[in-house]
Amino acid sequence: MTEQALYERCVTDLENARTAQHPDAAAGATLLGLRSQLQEVMDRSEFCDPALFESAHELMDEVGTLLRRHYHESCLLPYRDGAYYRECPVDLAHLRVGLSLETRVLESECSICNLDPEDCDHLPGEMYDGQECVSVVTKAEPTAVAIVANPRQLVTRFTSIPAGTTAELSAALGPQFRPGVQLSCDRCLSGCSGLNRDFANANHG
């Protein structure tokens, strides 16, 4: 499904969720699903269709607001191993960064003849008896991991980041805070504060 088609389906689903009598189990499930779908639209359209990206961004903010107002339990920060984490797709979609793995190719082979690409006559991208020729990396060595604005692989975008140290949370929440208590994310109650593009100038090595 194209990002445009996915966006249009999200528009329809959100319209149905808007008209529900909240809280409503079906509407809540729809909104939870829309978070991931709109995040996908944003990730896929950011650098090829800015208008679609911004439209998906606006819908994402609305989904977050509806969830926080009517389905508070969906906005609790996960707590594991003594720490809280930010894992909400609405929150993380505003962090426009991902990871880029830099590797050194040690060995590769032609997908047609299985020889080293330098030792065969097949050309990557050309078709041979209905099969496209590609160079298959069989051995590689990772050399570095970079944080970039436009990761080549969308799955390298962050899905979980720490919400802050215990000391930072204590300073922000006051003396009544105790590690392990339920904490909710309230970012969607105050409107969108903008996208985090701190790594906008970071590119692949």
Using DSSP, state whether 119 is helix, strand or coil.
helix
Residue 202 is predicted with a pLDDT of: 61
Residue 197 is predicted with a pLDDT of: 87
Using DSSP, state whether 165 is helix, strand or coil.
coil
| Band (203; pLDDT cuts 50, 70, 90) | low
- If asked whether residues 34 and 111 sit together in one domain, one would say no
- If asked whether residues 67 and 105 sit together in one domain, one would say no
**Cα–Cα distance measured from residue 49 to residue 182, given in angstroms and rounded to the nearest whole number:** 39
Residue with token string 């944003």: 42
Whether the pLDDT of residue 171 is over 90: the answer is yes
Least confident stretch, 35-39, 65-69, 147-151, 186-190:
147-151
- If asked whether residues 12 and 85 sit together in one domain, one would say yes
Q: Where are the beta strands (DSSP E) in the chain?
A: 79-80, 83-86, 98-110, 127-128, 131-132, 135-148, 161-162
The answer as to whether 197 is a domain residue is: no
Strand partners, 137: 108
- If asked whether residues 75 and 171 sit together in one domain, one would say yes
Average pLDDT, the chain: 93
- If asked whether residues 120 and 182 sit together in one domain, one would say no
**Cα–Cα distance measured from residue 195 to residue 174, given in angstroms and rounded to the nearest whole number:** 28
| Band (153; pLDDT cuts 50, 70, 90) | confident
**Cα–Cα distance measured from residue 152 to residue 120, given in angstroms and rounded to the nearest whole number:** 28
- If asked whether residues 143 and 161 sit together in one domain, one would say no
Whether the pLDDT of residue 204 is over 60: the answer is no
pLDDT tens string 95-131: 999 998 888 999 999 999 999 999 999 999 999 999 9
The answer as to whether 199 is a domain residue is: no
Kindly state the average pLDDT of the residues 171-189: 93
The phi and psi torsions of 30 (rounded to 5 degrees) equal -65, -45
How many H-runs (helices) and E-runs (strands) does the chain carry? Answer: 5, 7
Kindly state the average pLDDT of the residues 164-183: 92
| Band (53; pLDDT cuts 50, 70, 90) | very high
Residue numbers of the domain that contains 10: 3-96+157-189
Residue 154 is predicted with a pLDDT of: 81
Distances 149 to 72, 94, 107, 117, 195 between C-alpha atoms, Å: 31, 12, 29, 32, 12
- If asked whether residues 80 and 174 sit together in one domain, one would say yes
Per-position DSSP letters for 46-67, written without gaps between them? TTT-HHHHHHHHHHHHHHHHHH
| Band (141; pLDDT cuts 50, 70, 90) | very high
Q: Number of folded domains in the chain?
A: 2
Residue 35 is predicted with a pLDDT of: 97
- If asked whether residues 102 and 92 sit together in one domain, one would say no
Residue 102 is predicted with a pLDDT of: 86
Residue 55 is predicted with a pLDDT of: 98
Residue with token string 């779908």: 37
* Percent of residues, the chain, with pLDDT higher than 90: 80
Kindly state the average pLDDT of the residues 7-34: 97
- If asked whether residues 80 and 167 sit together in one domain, one would say yes
